Amino acid sequence: MMRSIVLAHEVDHDGWRQAVRGLIAAQVPPEQVTWSVEAPDDLFAADAAPPTDASAPAFSLSRHLVDLSQTVLQAREPARFALLYGLVWRATHGERAIAGDLADPSVARARQLAQNVARDTHKMRAFLRFREIDDGEGVRHLAWFEPEHYIVEANAGFFIRRFAAMRFSILTPYRTLHWDGTAPSFGPGARAADIPGDDAMAEYWETYFRSIFNPARLKRSAMLSEMPRKYWRNMPETAAIAELIREAPRRAEAMVAAGAS
C-alpha cells in the first residue's frame, strides 16, 4: 500500500524526521512512499506522518548521514525527501555506512545538493546588505536576499550572533526572519519592493568597497566567479564596479609610477 506523506512546508524538517521514524517503524520501503509539501491553501491535505510505534526498536544513523540530511533538506529539490529516506532505509537495512560510499549514485546526488546549499549559504553570508529605516520604534535594519535554496532558517543563528545588538529583518521570496534583540521570529515571503530605497548604509558600502579595491590585483573573471552579477542589484557597492574596472589600468600604472619615484 502506498503511503502519501505531506509536509507542512518546504522546511518542515521536524515533520520529515517524524515521518521517517514512523515509516521505518512500519517497515515501509522507499518505493511505497510519495512525498510532497502542503500548498498554503490546500484543503485536502493527504496523510499525516505515520505514528511512531513506541514498541518498535529504536534505530540510529551515522553522524555523517545525519549531517548530510540536515543540509540536503535545505535544497530546492522536490526529490530531496525521497532521496534521503532512501538513504535512511538502506542505512537501517544493512548499509549503515552508506553515506560514506562516494561511488553510490544516491550518495553522489545528495552530496551535490549539499554542496549547492553550502555555496548558497556562503553567498548569503557574504553578500547580504542591510539598509536603515525608522519603523516608529527606532532604527531597524532591512535586507533583501534571493537564495537559491531554503537556507534562511538554518542561517538565522549566524546573523543573530553577528548582529545581536541590531534590530533587523531579512526578507526573501519564501521566508522572512525578524530579530527584535530578544527572540527571532519567522514570517511569510516578501518582495524586493518591500525594501526602501537608497540610504546612508548604501553610501557606506560603496565607500568601503572603493577603499579596499586594489586595481593592481584586479582579476575580472575571478571576481565574477566569486560574486556573480545576479547578486549585484542588492549590493549598493556594486554601483561602483564598472567605473573601478574601467579605471583600474590607469590607477595601477599610477601606483607603479608612484612606487618607482
**Residues 171, 89 share a domain:** no
**Residues 28, 104 share a domain:** yes
Range of the domain at 133: 128-194
| 124-129: average pLDDT | 91
* Residue bearing the bigger pLDDT, 228 or 79: 79
**Residues 205, 183 share a domain:** no
- Residue-wise pLDDT for 60-104, tens only, equals 999 999 999 999 999 999 999 999 999 999 999 999 999 999 999
Q: Which of these three, 172, 194, 216, is where a domain ends?
A: 194
Total domains present in the chain: 3
pTM score: 0.74
Cα dihedral 245/251/256/258 (nearest 10): -160
Within the chain, strands assigned E span: 3-7, 33-37, 130-134, 139-144, 168-171, 175-179, 184-188
**Residues 107, 8 share a domain:** yes
**Residues 87, 16 share a domain:** yes
Q: Which of these three, 98, 119, 140, is where a domain ends?
A: 119
Q: Which of these three, 88, 119, 150, is where a domain ends?
A: 119
